[in-house]
Amino acid sequence: MADVPVAVVTGAGQGIGRATAAVLIEEGYRVVLADRNQDRLDAAAGPLGERAVPMLADVGDEDAVAGLAERVGSELGRWDVLVNNAGALRFGGVEETTLDDWQQVFSGCVTTAWLCMRAAVPQMRAAGGGRIVNFASVVVQGADSNRLIAYTAAKAAVVGLTTSAARELGPAGITVNAVSPGAVDTGAFDKFPDPDALRARRASTSVLGRLAEPEEIGRTVAYLVSPAAAFVTGQVLLVDGGRTDKM
């Protein structure tokens, strides 16, 4: 399979990450599903067939990311696409957020993306190009972010990372974009109080009257890494169903 393009999706054990991995496999990629939970990783990769390659890695750890990059290069021989989906969420406003909360969220959302980008770029440069997609959030555009001060700030940092990296890496043929999802119907809702009421409230803010399905976000990623988006870089693509609670 040396001629089959390789994508790495972080946080691929569940939710949007797993759905994105499934879509990219349908699109003809071999996909490395990277996750720090072995049971979750096995459950996600198993049904996806032989083109799914599970790799256990905590992408917030510098040594683990270096090990992941070495395995991708040695076992698969190429690294064409990086999807930085891994993230972290802690609740709290300005006054109640602790320093640990802040650092954990920035590590989970921003440091992971930078570490994986730094690891992927040498292989992409050597191949003459590549595609990187980061995950921002509709909260950066002003959607309801009550008690999500660290998460909102971290996702804004991801936008800055995206635009800066796009400018730096463009001459190497590497595009860098971000997807900014609105409300997506995943298990993440269960981390909130009264998740069913929150689902209904978020669905009501979309002009389409529903939440996004994880696969729909995965297909947006598939567009950004496709030849159709070869001239698209440094962009943040908002996928929110026309969400109406933005400022």
* pLDDT recorded at residue 58: 97
One digit per residue, pLDDT tens: the chain, 247 residues? Answer: 668 999 999 999 999 999 999 999 999 999 999 999 999 999 999 999 999 999 999 999 999 999 999 999 999 999 999 999 999 999 999 999 999 999 999 999 999 999 999 999 999 999 999 999 999 999 999 888 889 999 999 999 999 999 999 999 999 999 999 999 999 998 888 877 888 998 998 899 999 999 999 999 999 999 999 999 999 999 999 999 999 887 5
Q: Are 169 and 120 in contact (CB under 8 A)?
A: no
* pLDDT recorded at residue 193: 81
Helix axes 15-26, 214-224, angle to 10 degrees: 50
CA 5 to chain centre: 19
Q: Are 225 and 7 in contact (CB under 8 A)?
A: yes
Whole-angstrom distance, CA of residue 37 vs CA of residue 51? 20
* pLDDT recorded at residue 247: 54
Is 151 noted as a catalytic residue in this protein?
yes
* Positions of E strands within the chain: 6-10, 30-35, 52-56, 81-84, 130-135, 174-181, 236-239
Q: Which helix (H) or strand (E) element contains residue 214? A: helix 214-224
Question: pTM value?
Answer: 0.95
Q: Are 156 and 141 in contact (CB under 8 A)?
A: no
Per annotation, catalytic residue among 29, 120, 151, 166: 151
Q: Are 217 and 188 in contact (CB under 8 A)?
A: no
Q: Are 95 and 19 in contact (CB under 8 A)?
A: no
Question: How crowded is residue 233: how many other Cβ atoms within 10 Å of its Cβ?
Answer: 20
CA 132 to chain centre: 10
Token pair belonging to 170: 């463009």
Helix axes 112-127, 62-71, angle to 10 degrees: 30
**Among 116, 117, 88, which Cα is nearest to 104's?**
88
Taken in order of first residue, the domains within the chain and their CATH numbers are: 6-239 (3.40.50.720)
Binning the chain into helix, strand and coil, the percentages to the nearest 5 are: 50, 15, 30
Task: Return the residue matching tokens 């009264």.
Answer: 194
Whole-angstrom distance, CA of residue 30 vs CA of residue 7? 6
* pLDDT recorded at residue 134: 98
* pLDDT recorded at residue 1: 65
SS3 202: helix
